Amino acid sequence: MGSTGSVSASPDGLLTALIQYPVPVVKGPEDIQPNVDKICETVANTKAGYPDLDLIVFPEYSTSGLNTKIWSYDEMLLSLDSPQVGQFKQACKDADVWGVFSVMEPNDVPGRAPYNTAIIIDNNGEIALHYRKLQPWVPIEPWYPGDLGMPVCDGPKGSKLAVCICHDGMFPELAREAAYKGANVYIRISGYSTQVNDQWILTNQTNAWQNLMYSISVNLAGYDGVFYYFGEGTVCNFDGNVLQQGHRNPWEIVTAELFPALADKARTDWALENNIYNLGTRGYVGQPGGDKQNYLTWVKDLAEGNYHVPWEDDIRIRDGWKYYPDGGQYGPMPK
């Protein structure tokens, strides 16, 4: 912990805590409830240690684990009105803190794959934001692509919050979407193993810098018998510099105090490097008001449903490959 994340917060400072939750080894639905109980206990204990805490964030899969053989069956899923989500709500209300939690959510359409979901719960115990992962990690994750877009909600201390999940953070387009909707704090919850440790930090920085917003990101930590998860909660300033960086320790709490108003002022007052504004007002010195015409082929093609990279016909892996040779398995768990 550094001076940017003390036990107290300034009146306009958003005090955040990123919990490097130990990767849970989940063998069946009976292992979910102990995680929920532990997460709620952690909310209370962290708030006790940091009395001015505004926002606490838990990684992806901290509730239901990463067992690819069972994680998409009905018994492993939690709806937003489940008792377990009710516990998360009560924990936030009791601690007077906002929280970010991960659940695997059943699909509204019978027979479709479930969603990988993040929720932001406010300090009154109400769901302030509901997000479904837009870019599931192929060819491994069996989740249905999110259908709620990139929502943004008003948070504490003048913050405007958006959340993305793990692989989402590798897409600069999603961070830009959040910023375009006004987010000044971009939250990323992840369950990555060590293969992409460096890329994790790089993209956290670029997501912040390219959009003049804070990024706060936390990953699972520890070993589950197959992979090691790197933790390394990262807090990036709106200029892309790292304010706080966790280590690889399970249960490490990475704290930082953010000032959303400063990000807002950068967006309104900066001329140099105000890239999110300049994108849509190209060359406003040479052409007063700037050129507002779309010049990006991929934007046009995506909007028209014609997105097609030049090497698309040569891409080899287009399905579940070795993980799901028969496709994703949904519905009740086999007896």
The catalytic residues are 60, 133, 166
CA 132 to chain CA centroid, Å, is: 10
Q: Which helix (H) or strand (E) holds 242?
A: strand 242-245
Does the N-terminal peptide bond of residue 260 adopt cis geometry, omega within 30 degrees of 0? no
Q: Which residues contact 193 (CB under 8 A, 6 or more apart)?
A: 227, 228, 229, 230
How many alpha carbons fall within 13 Å on the CB side of residue 32? Answer: 22
Q: Which has the closest alpha carbon to 226: 195, 272, 263?
A: 195
Quote the CA–CA distance of 80 and 107 in Å, as a whole number.
Answer: 11
If phi > 0 it is left, if psi is from -120 to 50 it is alpha, else beta; for residue 162 that is beta
Distances from the Cα of 154 to the Cαs of 17, 48, 84, 122, in angstroms? 18, 25, 24, 10
Q: Which residues contact 63 (CB under 8 A, 6 or more apart)?
A: 24, 32, 35, 36, 39, 78, 84, 101, 102, 103, 104
Write out 137-180 in H/E/C secondary structure: CCCCCCCCCCCCCCCCEECHHHCEEEEEEHHHHHCHHHHHHHHH
